[in-house]
Chains A and B, each alone.
Chain A
Amino acid sequence: MTEHVVIVGGGTGGTVLANDLADRLDAELDAGDVRITLVNDGPDHVYKPVWLYVPFGQREPDDGRRPLDELVDDAVDLRIDRVSEIDTEAQRLRFDGTAPAVDYDYLVLATGSTLEPERIPGLVDGGYDYYSEVGSTALRDELLEFTEGHLVLSVIGTPHMCPAAPLEFVFMADDWLRERGLREDVDITYTYPIQRVHGNPHIAEWARPIMDDRGIEVETFFNAESIDPEAKTITSMEGTELDYDLLVTIPPHGGIDLIEEAGLGDNGWVDVDKHTLEAQAVDNVYALGDTADTGVPNAGSVAHYQAGVVGQRLASEVRGRPPTATYDGKTLCFIETGMDAASFVEFDYENQPSPAPPSEKLHWSKLAYNDSYWLTARGLL
């Protein structure tokens, strides 16, 4: 009997896993003991960290986009369709339109995050972002024209992709404006929903003095309730109102509705065992990356490491052995602190981050990894 592994989502987690399995199960694929299908709703793989650099003119959105069929091993069946239903009882996926349903023996959900700016009144018209291709290019055009006034960076919801990116943006904007001789004419304010500047207290403790030194104003306990694009104001649930000239936000994020409809978890995140990454509600379903509700950051490194764990577990399952690989919460993250310096953190479920002193070497390490990322997507790095 041929076992069928179906992966939904062709982002970092899904693509790395597909290639990991193709390599790990090479013999079983050749023998016809297993089949691997990767389902994505579009033909391209998108590497989102590129978008942070687009507003500053250092990258183009196309730098982060490549066709999946160039990245995924030929042994993997690539299917470009949009899933319309996850039936965990029948172990079947249904699709939009007339595309035939697919039965699975093992399902991996790697559907990631989607932006939901419409949840905040006025945000669609009033705010810019760098969490999408179209957002990052619109922000680039606006930022190039921005020579004076109040730049507000507001983190509206958590969890969001790349928790360090809001800090990186204000650090880079500060440096970029200084280099261009404009910083004295631009005020920068950073808002965050809780009582510190980052969800992780160790990173917050490290970042706050840098913000103070660089004259970046901070508003904590600021949960945006509404934006008035005409008056150019943003108001928080806590009753604070800020005037802005340029508003950059991290919009609210959510997962896909199908996950909640399938009873796998709330808000599009799958309730999983945070070590095995198996769904809590049903058998033979895994989740990874942003989709897995583990409490670790929504970051590419997390999806990458989790893909390795799920790959090992699935290989054991296919071979009829008990799976033993577990995820320990490992997260790596470079944090840009300007246009030519960065820090670095590494942590897991047991060990807290301790940000490295910012250096040019770490900045170039980050850029070098971003360019090497395509080897990660191919399962080589």
Chain B
Amino acid sequence: MTDIEPDETVDARGAACPGPLMDLIGQIRDAEAGDVVRLLSDTDQSLTDVPEWAEEAGNELLAVEEFDDHNAFYVERS
């Protein structure tokens, strides 16, 4: 578990790929620098998509929480 407090949460559970990543990008687009967005996704592809995009965009993937049926990604807008 992490004690990071997200500024926004995007619940993309149930969405097919690339929906979760696009939902995250959409939320980061509207975020201020330093804001943390939490993405909830039950698509395994997010485990590779999200770190790849975060690195490409220069945003920081602070943490990934793994649950039984989904993962939570904490991304800070640079």
Contact = CB atoms under 8 A, between A and B. Distances in A.
B56 A295 contact: no
A237 B21 CA distance: 14
B21 to A, nearest CB: 6
A181 interface: no
Contacts of A199: 17-18
Contacts of A225: 29
Contacts of B14: 295
A15 interface: no
Contacts of A237: 25, 28-29, 57
A194 B52 CA distance: 10
B29 A223 contact: yes
At the interface, is chain B mostly helix, strand, loop or mixed?
helix
B22 A194 contact: yes
Give the interface size bracket for A toward B.
10 to 19
Given A237-B28, A237-B29, A158 B22 contact: yes
Contact size range, B: 10 to 19
Nearest to B45: A201
A221 B16 contact: no
A300 interface: no
**SS of A interface (majority):** loop
A221 B21 CA distance: 11
A238 interface: yes
A194 B21 CA distance: 8
Interface of B: 14-19, 21-22, 25-26, 28-29, 49, 52-53, 56-58
20 contacts: A157-B22, A158-B18, A159-B19, A159-B22, A193-B25, A194-B18, A195-B49, A195-B52, A195-B53, A195-B56, A201-B17, A221-B53, A221-B56, A237-B28, A237-B29, A238-B56, A238-B57, A238-B58, A239-B57, A295-B14
